[in-house]
Amino acid sequence: MPRHPWRHSWLLALALAVLAAPAQQRRNAFDDPFLQATQALPGCPEPRGPGFTEEEVRKEAHVRAQHGTSCYRVGRCRLPNSYLYDKEIIPRVAQYIRMDGRFDDTSVWVLGERRLVTLMGCVKTKEQAEQMEKAVLLVDDVMGVVNYLGVGAAAKPRYPLAP
């Protein structure tokens, strides 16, 4: 089999191009609401906000259309898409956490997606995390809570971190 000296240089150029390619940019393509509700616990790892690569946006768009409209079709939502609630729910959740008084010593971020509220950040005790979860469930139109709160700033976060 004859050797092709150009083959190695072509493979090397391809490898260098792949290595030099920038990481895919993430953007909040669906405008999911994400707010910091409290910020009293120093050193709490900041979560990465909602973001998708272009490939993830293409995959997620169909799923969101299907999931978003299903609650309306079965009569569980008054709005035609469950994602329409989030921009109004998340500011109220953040306000409720701030005004409650029991959570003044925490650092917490809230994310909304399909009437589900994700709590991320740091609290002082496990009981405080449970109390916050139960409190957020009382906010009108909240369907569920995903609790990713850690006890103390040194706890290993269960959420992706901000860059």
CB 34 within 8 A of CB 109: yes
Q: Report, in angstroms and rounded to the nearest whole number, the Rg of the chain calculated over CA atoms.
A: 21
Asked if residue 9 has pLDDT above 90, the reply is no
Q: Are strands 116-123 and 144-151 parallel, antiparallel or unpaired?
A: parallel
CB 141 within 8 A of CB 85: yes
pTM over 0.75: yes
Confidence of residue 12 (pLDDT cuts 50, 70, 90): very low
- CATH number for 32-48+83-151: choose from 3.30.1340, 1.10.3470, 3.30.70, 3.30.110: 3.30.1340
Asked if residue 2 has pLDDT above 90, the reply is no
pLDDT value at residue 37:
98
| Number of helices (H), then strands (E), in the chain | 4, 4
Tokens 């260098």 belong to residue: 16
Tokens of 136: 């957020």
CB 135 within 8 A of CB 37: no
Question: Comparing C-alpha atoms, which of 144, 35, 37, 44 is closest to residue 99?
Answer: 37
Own/partner contacts of 136-142, CB < 8 Å, gap of 24 or more, are 136/93, 136/96, 136/97, 136/110, 138/96, 139/89, 139/92, 139/93, 139/96, 140/92, 141/85, 141/88, 141/89, 141/115, 142/89, 142/93, 142/115, 142/116, 142/117
Domain positions in the chain? 32-48+83-151
Mean pLDDT across the stretch 92-105? 98
pLDDT value at residue 67:
85
CB 112 within 8 A of CB 144: no
Confidence of residue 24 (pLDDT cuts 50, 70, 90): confident
DSSP class of residue 49 equals P
